[in-house]
Amino acid sequence: MRLLVPFLALTMAVAATSASRQEVSSAAIAGAQNPPALSAFGFFEGDVSRPSPKLIPYRLRTPLFSDYADKQRFIYVPEGGKIKSDAAGKLLFPLGTALIKSFGYPGQDGRFHVLETRVLLHRTEGWVALPYVWRADRSDADLRVGGTRIPVEFAHGGSRASISYAVPNKNQCKQCHSSGDKIMPIGPQWQNMEFDRKSDRDRILKDLPQLARLPGMAKWDDAAKSTLDERARSYLKVNCGHCHAPKGSASNSGLFLDGSARDAAAYGIGKRPVAAGRASGDLDFIIEAGRPDRSILISRMKSTDPGIAMPELGRAMVHDEGVKLLEDWISAMPHGRY
């Protein structure tokens, strides 16, 4: 009888834990209505520190710069759904998939202090992009289709940086994720992905063994393993290539940084801007070989003026390390037009 009470207590505790565990809601992902609170999806068991075991966590070898924010990325694939890919390594997801990305900064205690979570939901009508902003007590996040701004202070370069952090509105989400007339994922490219759990990687490769033959994309900040040219091109592809692509929102510029360019001019080298204006800063070429100080690309990356800065969305700060990488890359090019 003495053993019975602890046994029953343990059984009841396990049952209570199982009952309280929230399941990912396929109905919320696929439904026509957008839940007003993030918790309706069941992606997290209380807060972002406890993601559902149904989610696949992953990282990017070269990530998109977003004002030095830390990011946590996850994939949810519905039961029975299969991930596919195209020949270039872009992952193609079944209906009912959700891509989840949380943004935040280290708090005073060193822990991840989440600000927002963006979700891409693969529904019958296509992909839907929604931004959710976390409440002050981090109990849940609320849908903000109109976006918002959040004052943020964080450690940077040995001091404190203060910015007005921008949560994009629904149309701005569409601008970056637009391919042709459709919203599409832009992050999950196999060559740029790393997985926290080997079992997740192995599961994908089991269905798509051809992906194992694709070489990993260069890490933009790893000079020991990749050349300057490889690192610069990776940086441009991730930070600029989603818009500067044949079907991207900046396709009319004739500048293609997604890897599709077939000549130096299409990559910006010796290329004059399609429309001259104050954004060009009286400079002649997108990239002037050997002259980063004469290159529009660098000038716009160094600007925080909304009418000049590139990328147009997602930053209020200059990415000093990224600018330095591209300055070194342009400086290493032989002088003169290609």
Give the chain's end-to-end CA distance (angstroms, integer).
87
Average pLDDT across the chain, whole number: 89
Domain assignment present for 3: no
Asked if 280 and 319 sit in the same domain, the reply is yes
Domain assignment present for 5: no
Domain that holds residue 258: 228-331
Asked if 113 and 250 sit in the same domain, the reply is no
Asked if 87 and 209 sit in the same domain, the reply is yes
Question: What is the tally of structural domains in the chain?
Answer: 2
Asked if 252 and 315 sit in the same domain, the reply is yes
Asked if 252 and 288 sit in the same domain, the reply is yes
Helix pair angle (228-240, 320-331), 10° resolution: 130
Asked if 29 and 134 sit in the same domain, the reply is yes
Domain assignment present for 252: yes
Asked if 56 and 174 sit in the same domain, the reply is yes
Asked if 247 and 320 sit in the same domain, the reply is yes
Asked if 103 and 172 sit in the same domain, the reply is yes
> Distance between CA atoms of 141 and 116, rounded to whole angstroms?
7
Asked if 129 and 170 sit in the same domain, the reply is yes
Domain assignment present for 218: no
**Residue 131 has what pLDDT?**
95
**Residue 14 has what pLDDT?**
36
Q: What residues form DSSP beta bridges with 155?
A: 160
Q: Which residues of the chain have pLDDT under 50?
A: 1-20, 337-338
**Residue 21 has what pLDDT?**
56
Domain assignment present for 305: yes
**Residue 178 has what pLDDT?**
65
Domain-ending residue, one of 213, 242, 274: 213
Domain-ending residue, one of 153, 185, 213: 213
> Distance between CA atoms of 57 and 52, rounded to whole angstroms?
10
Domain assignment present for 239: yes
98-106 and 91-92 beta bridge pairing: unpaired
> Distance between CA atoms of 328 and 299, rounded to whole angstroms?
14
Domain assignment present for 6: no
Domain assignment present for 4: no
